């Protein structure tokens, strides 16, 4: 059996068609796009085409609203730091407790610098309360930054509605959309979203290329100053091959968006149903009815995620976990804690994330091994006895914690 | 994925003594809050001789937690309780051919379960004596709680102080921002302000840096001098270092005591090498003496 890759929210395989369009930019058209000779001849045109391909995927009004960056994290940092530099009198930021560390760590840092950070909580299904959001909006808020879709659970936030509310209150709105772009349709020109981050390697482009969408007219301060590249909004010689690759990847994503929401979704649903039907004491986390089509995050109670991943890996299956152990951090994933998932389940969460490269056959292979893996580990668990959890697991096993 | 040794994988994929011992007369239940891991160790102890006849484990935890539990049961079977009490978490890690620094607490959990089970057998109450915090220094596996305690106890004021007292920050230096944050926090609690330019509380013994080139004899003397200055911090961990041979720019050393076989030895050697190069002003390679014979043989051949 060949290895099965179900970790596409972590990163994706580069599409061979993307690699093909990139190669000439390494070997032939390697000139600096700013140069005036034949080695740079087609480069500027290549970049322009890529800009338009990105524009088409996210549905923005102008291709000049696309700023190429080095990654999603750079786009996120640029957006937030730009908003606070451009509006030095506003000292508050609104975000959520379940954002990616690219946003949360930056906000923690800004908090130390004296900013007030409003981190909106989520309910047990990972949803936000828009009523409390409205109350937070004020003329003191420099920017709202809310992810479009959660990387762990796939839960989609109502960013279009939230951007409109922010806009009405005169507040800038940014969304970290690295998990959403290419998986769900979007038309930015019909929204009030001011800034959006996306990352190439999540949609079959290479790592090391990202985009910041910046709505025309949004007040902006660059993170990197230097050259005139990207109209002076992001200095540094363009990563031409990757930009062209990202353009191609966006074109492919746009043409597969229906496939993603039908065929890919069907694979995800089959896996999810198969697992939850066959395996007792497991449940899907996040908002079941409002999710990315490619993601399922399942909590297996009374066992730990890294152990599950190691046994999956041995069976040739790649997935990921919200367990503390896989990250080397102290706590299980902040997303699981935010949803109030009990520790004994939060440590056992496994995320399966699909792409158009997966097949139904692979789903069946995973379904064959998953019950055995869970049963093996439960046999070792102090919370488990025979065919089920011990009665009152929390009382029956209450270790001295250090 | 973690870089687990083959031994860890062996014990994870084929755990020994999984499950509770029937008719156990000693039980230890401990957890490590840092990982959410928890372990129940059950023993059958011969009342006459106090020999551990059987040991079984039930673990909720990651690969290295399960492997640590499994290898622990193998180590202690056949030991008397007094012998078993001498088993350290380092022994557990050594039997597993090392654990990643982030995972050392899994071996600590094993040792604690053993202590708890023996206390349970003897009708004593077992109390955990250590608290674990977020891992700050990955080079030397030092956590936040340890650094905070040392800052409080020794009135530390600078990152250099923290490195001198705990080794934290003495390797790759990437955690210096985190150490500064701890200093800021603790000093604020004491009503002081962190000043990055403050003089260290206790200046480390200064060794005059030398200008290369050195004669081989000068080089050996200088290396000895540097090792001497590092010795106190190694001995604080129950280890030591011994210079065996110097060939050209390569220094062969023996890590002894607790350093011997410690999975942090490679990291410690890198730290020693860094210090030597700073003082000597020339490239010095520090190599475990165990690798010396091989190299000499090749030269002879």
Predicted model pTM: 0.82
Give the pLDDT confidence score for residue A202 in this predicted structure. Answer: 97
- Backbone phi, psi, residue B143, to 5°: -100, 170
CB pairs under 8 A, 24+ apart, for B197-204? Answer: B198/B157, B198/B158, B199/B158, B200/B157, B200/B158, B200/B160, B200/B161, B200/B164, B201/B154, B201/B155, B201/B156, B201/B157, B201/B158, B201/B161, B202/B161, B202/B164, B204/B160, B204/B164, B204/B229
Asked if the Cβ–Cβ distance from B12 to A400 is below 8 Å, we say: no
Instruction: Count helices and strands (H / E) in chain B.
Output: 11, 8
Question: How do residues B75-124 score in pLDDT, each as one tens digit?
Answer: 999 999 999 999 988 899 999 999 887 788 888 889 999 999 999 999 98
- CA distances for A125 relative to A359, A376, B281, angstroms: 28, 29, 60
Of A290, A334, A351, the closest CA to residue A95 belongs to: A334
**CA pair distance A82, A233, nearest whole angstrom:** 10
Cis peptide before B213 (omega within 30 of 0): yes
**How do beta strands B285-288 and A282-284 pair?**
unpaired
Minimal Cβ distance to A304: which of B61, B100, B127: B61
Choice among A69-83, A270-284, A311-325, B59-73 with the minimum mean pLDDT: A311-325
Whole-complex ipTM: 0.85
State whether residue B13 sits within 8 Å of chain A by CB: yes
Picking from B61, B104, B178 by the largest number of A CB atoms within 10 A of its own CB, the best residue to mutate is B61
Alpha-carbon separation of residue B211 from B243, B271, B283, B286 (angstroms): 22, 21, 12, 19
Query: pLDDT confidence of A195, banded at 50, 70, 90?
Result: very high
A325 has catalytic annotation = yes
Q: Enumerate the domain spans of chain A.
A: 16-255, 257-386
With an 8 Å Cβ cutoff, is B292 touching chain A? Answer: no
Question: Per DSSP, which regions of B6-101 are E strands?
Answer: 26-32, 37-45, 52-60
SS (H, E, C) A204-272: CCCCCCEEEEECCCCCCCCCCCCCCHHHHCCCCCCCHHHHHHHHHHHHHHHHCHHHHHHHHHHHHHHHH
Q: Which CATH code for domain A257-386?
A: 3.90.1150.10
Residue A126 has pLDDT above 90, yes or no: yes
DSSP letter string, B71-83: HHHHHHTT-BHHH
Determine the Cα–Cα distance for residues B73 and B84; give it in Å rounded to an integer: 10
Is B62 labelled a binding residue?
yes
Domain A16-255, CATH class in plain words? alpha beta
Q: Which spans in A113-239 are helix H?
A: 130-136, 159-168
Per-residue pLDDT band for A322 (boundaries 50, 70, 90) equals confident
- Measure the CA–CA gap between A295 and A277, rounded to whole angstroms: 18
What is the pLDDT, as a whole number, of residue B226?
A: 84
State the pLDDT at residue B301. Answer: 45
Indicate if the pLDDT at residue A144 is higher than 80.
yes
CA distance B196 to A93: 29
Q: Which of A79, A381, A243, A291 is nearest to B65 (CA)?
A: A381
**B94–chain A Cβ distance below 8 A for any pair:** no
Residue with tokens 């560390």: A101
Q: Please name the residue that has the structure tokens 């439960």.
A: A378
Average pLDDT on A46-51 reads: 97
Judge whether B145 is closer than 8 Å to chain A, CB to CB.
no
Active-site position among A71, A250, A282, A325? A325
Q: Which residues of A111-142 are buried (b: 16+ CB within 10 A; e: fewer)?
A: eeeebeebbbebeeebbbeeeebeebbeeebb
Q: A with B: how many residue pairs have Cβ under 8 Å apart?
A: 112
CA distance A242 to A250: 12
Strand partners, A117: A93
Tell me the mean pLDDT in the region A361-389: 94
Whole-number pLDDT of residue B261:
56
Domains of chain B: 6-121 (3.90.1010.10), 135-189 (1.10.10.1100), 216-300 (3.30.300.130)
- The SS3 of residue B56 is strand
Q: Do B128 and A328 touch (CB under 8 A)?
A: no
Q: Looking at the predicted structure, is the pLDDT value of residue A100 above 60? A: yes
Average pLDDT score over residue span A355-378: 97
Pairing outcome for strands B37-45 and B26-32: antiparallel
DSSP helix/strand/coil, B148: helix
- Please tell me if residue B117 touches chain A, with a CB cutoff of 8 Å: no
């Amino acid at each position: 059996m060949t290895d099965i890759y179900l970790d596409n929210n972590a990163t994706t395989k580069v599409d061979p068609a993307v690699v093909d369009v990139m190669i000439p930019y390494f070997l032939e058209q390697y000139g600096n796009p700013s140069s005036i000779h034949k080695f740079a001849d087609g480069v500027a045109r290549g970049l322009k085409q890529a800009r338009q391909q990105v524009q088409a995927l996210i549905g923005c009004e102008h291709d000049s609203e696309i700023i190429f960056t080095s990654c999603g994290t750079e786009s996120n940092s640029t957006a937030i730091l730009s908003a606070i530099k451009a509006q030095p009198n506003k000292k508050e930021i609104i975000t959520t407790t379940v954002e990616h560390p690219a946003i949360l760590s930056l906000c923690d840092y800004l908090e130390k610098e004296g900013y007030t950070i409003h981190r909106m909580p989520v309910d047990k299904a990972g949803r936000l309360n828009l009523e409390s959001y409205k109350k937070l909006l004020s003329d003191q808020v420099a920017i709202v930054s809310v992810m479009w879709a959660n990387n762990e659970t796939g839960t989609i936030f109502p960013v279009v509605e939230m951007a409109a509310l922010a806009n009405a209150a005169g507040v800038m709105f940014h969304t970290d959309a690295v998990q959403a772009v290419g998986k769900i349709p979007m038309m930015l020109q019909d929204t009030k979203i001011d800034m959006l981050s996306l990352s190439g390697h999540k949609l079959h482009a290479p790592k090391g290329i990202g985009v910041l969408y910046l709505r025309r007219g949004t007040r902006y301060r660059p993170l990197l100053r230097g050259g005139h590249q990207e109209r002076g909004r992001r200095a540094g010689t363009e990563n031409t091959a990757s930009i062209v690759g990202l353009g191609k990847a966006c074109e492919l994503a746009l043409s597969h968006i229906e496939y993603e929401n039908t065929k890919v979704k069907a694979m995800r649903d089959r896996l999810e149903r198969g697992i939850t039907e066959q395996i007792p004491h497991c449940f899907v986390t996040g908002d079941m009815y409002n999710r990315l089509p490619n993601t399922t995050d399942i909590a297996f109670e009374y066992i730990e995620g890294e152990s599950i991943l190691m046994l999956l890996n041995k069976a040739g299956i790649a997935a990921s976990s919200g367990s503390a152990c896989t990250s080397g951090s102290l706590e299980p994933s902040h997303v699981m804690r935010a949803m109030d998932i009990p520790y004994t389940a939060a440590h056992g969460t496994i995320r399966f994330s699909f792409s158009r490269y997966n097949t139904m056959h692979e789903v069946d292979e995973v379904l064959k091994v998953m019950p055995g893996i869970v049963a093996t580990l439960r046999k070792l668990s102090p919370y488990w006895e025979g065919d089920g959890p011990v009665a009152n697991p929390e009382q029956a096993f209450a270790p001295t914690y250090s | 994925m973690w870089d687990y040794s083959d031994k860890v994988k062996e014990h994870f994929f084929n755990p020994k003594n999984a499950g509770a011992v029937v008719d156990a007369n000693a039980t230890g239940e401990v957890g490590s809050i840092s990982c959410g891991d928890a372990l129940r160790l059950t023993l059958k102890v011969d009342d006459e001789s106090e020999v551990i006849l059987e040991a079984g484990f039930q673990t909720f935890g990651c690969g290295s937690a399960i492997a640590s539990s499994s290898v622990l049961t193998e180590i202690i079977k056949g030991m008397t309780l007094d012998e078993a009490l001498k088993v350290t978490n380092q022994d557990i890690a050594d039997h597993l051919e090392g654990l990643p620094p982030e995972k050392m607490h899994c071996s600590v959990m094993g040792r604690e379960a053993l202590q708890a089970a023996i206390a349970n057998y003897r009708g004593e109450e077992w109390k955990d004596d250590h608290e674990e915090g977020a891992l700050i220094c990955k080079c030397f596996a030092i956590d936040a709680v340890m650094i905070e305690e040392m800052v409080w106890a020794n009135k530390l004021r600078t990152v250099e102080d923290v490195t001198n007292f705990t080794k934290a920050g003495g390797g790759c230096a990437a955690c210096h921002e985190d150490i500064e944050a701890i200093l800021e926090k603790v000093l604020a609690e004491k009503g002081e302000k962190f000043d990055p330019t403050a003089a260290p509380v206790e200046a480390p013994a200064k060794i005059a840096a030398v200008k290369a080139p050195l004669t081989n004899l000068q080089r050996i003397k200088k290396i000895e001098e540097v090792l001497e200055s590092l010795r106190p911090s190694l001995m604080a961990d129950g280890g030591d270092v011994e210079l065996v041979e110097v060939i050209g720019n390569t220094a062969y050393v023996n890590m002894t005591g607790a350093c011997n076989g410690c999975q942090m030895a490679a990291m410690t050697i890198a730290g020693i090498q860094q210090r030597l190069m700073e003082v000597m002003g020339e490239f010095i390679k520090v190599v475990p003496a165990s690798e010396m014979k091989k190299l000499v043989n090749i030269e002879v051949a």
